[in-house]
Amino acid sequence: MDEDELSIVDLDNTIYDTDRLIRDLKVEIEMRVGHISSQKFWSCYEQVRLETGAVDLTRTLELCAALVRCQDHVRLVDLIWNFPNPESYVIDGAIATLRYLRGRGKVMIMTDGERLFQESKILGSGLVHEVDQYLVYPGKTKHFLSVAAENPSSVVNILDDKPSVAADARQLFGAKARIIMVAYGKYGAGLLQDGCEDADVIIGSISDLPAAHQRLVAQH
Ligand SMILES: [Mg+2]
């Protein structure tokens, strides 16, 4: 059993139910600022997403400031940066999986996206206490090799929900990567239907990881 593994674990829709958070935010925003301001907020959200290719709530709030009443903007800022019960979006089984992986080496959360929103999820949920490190890097796979060089290991476990991450990881790490895809969120149905040639295994839930990982270890 090798215990010098490096595990690079994705955040959104791998260990954290960001899809559900966004659905809940939609309801909460409408309740707090009403339909018109809510629509303006979400049209800014889509505009920023189209312009930058990523969700960026800081920019969304900046853009929205000119379009909604001041008091609604204050409510939006408060809600976005202090959304209720951030710990409730940690996916069942995620903590046990992180603890299992930590028993085998170093574990880091590595996520794309915007720093403030990602940190509000990682810190607010307490996930920060379950990992050795977290990194927020837009275009994160570009940083995989440097992160692996800083954390030498015999194996790199990649845990993600996005097929393109599996492809990048396989290209970068070759056979050293143990790629485990979680069929969850918007890529989930496609993963289950079409598979993923770069993945070693596709699991239906993060809680299946320890058993799936042990099977992979036994095969090699
Ligand atoms: Mg993800």
Nearest Cα neighbor of 91 from 180, 143, 20 is 20
Residues 215, 163 share a domain = yes
Residues 29, 12 share a domain = no
Residues 197, 120 share a domain = yes
Determine the 3-state secondary structure of 186 from DSSP.
helix
Total of domains in the chain: 2
Q: How many CA atoms lie within 13 Å of 191's alpha carbon, on the beta-carbon side?
A: 25
Instruction: Report how far ligand 1's centroid is from the alpha carbon of 172 (Å).
Output: 19
Structural domain range at position 76: 19-81
Instruction: Report how far ligand 1's centroid is from the alpha carbon of 72 (Å).
Output: 30
What letter does residue 154 receive in the DSSP assignment? Answer: S
Determine the 3-state secondary structure of 12 from DSSP.
strand
Q: Which pLDDT belongs to residue 1?
A: 46
Instruction: Report how far ligand 1's centroid is from the alpha carbon of 11 (Å).
Output: 6
In terms of pTM, does the model score above 0.85? Answer: yes
Instruction: Report how far ligand 1's centroid is from the alpha carbon of 63 (Å).
Output: 26
Q: Which pLDDT belongs to residue 191?
A: 87
Instruction: Report how far ligand 1's centroid is from the alpha carbon of 24 (Å).
Output: 18
Q: What CATH number did the domain enclosing 10 receive? A: 3.40.50.1000
Beta strand 155-160 pairing with 201-203: unpaired
What letter does residue 190 receive in the DSSP assignment? Answer: H
Determine the 3-state secondary structure of 96 from DSSP.
helix
Instruction: Report how far ligand 1's centroid is from the alpha carbon of 185 (Å).
Output: 8
Instruction: Report how far ligand 1's centroid is from the alpha carbon of 38 (Å).
Output: 26
143 contacts: CB under 8 Å, gap ≥ 6: 110, 135, 137
* Residue whose structure tokens are 């069929």: 183
Q: Which pLDDT belongs to residue 23?
A: 94
Instruction: Report how far ligand 1's centroid is from the alpha carbon of 110 (Å).
Output: 10
* Residue whose structure tokens are 């993600």: 160
The mean pLDDT values, 10 residues at a time, for the chain of 220 residues are: 84 95 95 96 95 88 95 95 94 97 97 90 97 94 96 96 95 95 88 88 94 90
* Residue whose structure tokens are 């890529």: 187
Residues 77, 120 share a domain = no
